[in-house]
Amino acid sequence: MTEKEILEIIKKHPEVILEVIYSSIEKIRKESQLEIERIRAESNKRISQMENQIRLEIEKLRIETKIKLQVMENSLLKWIIILIILFQALAIILIILLAK
């Protein structure tokens, strides 16, 4: 078909051409909407997965910190007991020395 023949068809049947254009635009719009919804659903899924990973990591860090604090507390208690024993030993030595 030549350009002249195409223009002649358009002139003779503009409503058909408009209907074809409109249906094409409508099809593209629907496909775009579906693609937007698909991307939105995929994004929401990824966000949800990332939120879950972050929650798990926070909980893991919370547990690790709690364990480290417990270890530090136990170590501190051991040092306090050692110091008490040393002070008691020092007090006994002083009593013995003063008693002579």
CA–CA separation, 99 and 56 (whole Å): 64
Q: What's the pLDDT at 3?
A: 86
Report the candidate in 19, 22, 17 with the shortest Cα–Cα distance to residue 6: 17
pTM of the shown model: 0.58
Read off the pLDDT band of 12 (50, 70, 90).
Answer: confident
How confident is the model over 88-98, as a mean pLDDT?
Answer: 94
Instruction: Give the pLDDT mean for 37-61.
Output: 98
Number of domains in the chain: 1
What is the C-alpha separation between 100 and 98, in angstroms, rounded? 6
| C-alpha span between 83 and 76 (Å, rounded) | 11
Q: What does the pLDDT average to over 62-78?
A: 97
Alpha-carbon distance of 87 to 100, in angstroms, equals: 20
Range of the domain at 26: 3-99
What pLDDT, on the 0 to 100 scale, is given for residue 4? Answer: 84
